[in-house]
Amino acid sequence: QVQLVESGGGSVHDGGSLTLSCATSGIRGTKDRLYSMGWFRQGPGKEREAVATIDSYGGTKYADSVNGRFSVSKDNAENTLLLRMTQLKPDDTAMYYCAAVQAAWLSADHWTDHRRWHYWGQGTQVTVSS
């Protein structure tokens, strides 16, 4: 059974930092079953958008709006997915979701499509004030 649980959200001022964590179970990769993981977010009145992803080989992708400020990684023997966020802006305010999909890698054309991701956490709120 796949389970994803986010934590680490909160409120910070413009320019602050936060690190989000996603505790995972049931998605440890094997030679016949590989997973890619990622973070999505949805702000008030906005569509859900991809923020950052990491494939089974460690390759990462970032949205242009966060590139250079956010960093996605795996920790604790790949049981935890992290999103380190720095230089936060009010536009980063959103509910952040952890997601996973059974795929070895993610194409440039499809990694941003949330419909292609099969497993989701419940989300953690990030609020950035001016």
Report the length, in residues, of the chain. 130
Q: What are phi and psi of 61, to 5 degrees?
A: -135, 145
Give pLDDT, residue 127: 98
SS (H, E, C) the chain: CCEEEEECCEEEECCCCEEEEEEEECCCCECCECCEEEEEEECCCCCCEEEEEECCCCCEEECCCCECCEEEEEECCCCEEEEEECCCCHHHCEEEEEEEECCCCCCCCCCCCHHHCCEECCCEEEEEEC
Q: What are phi and psi of 23, to 5 degrees?
A: -80, 130
Q: What is the rounded CA–CA span in Å between residue 37 and residue 15?
A: 26
pLDDT by 10s per residue, the chain, length 130 = 889 999 999 999 999 999 999 999 988 766 667 889 999 999 999 999 999 999 999 999 999 999 999 999 998 777 899 999 999 999 999 999 999 999 988 888 779 999 999 999 999 999 999 9
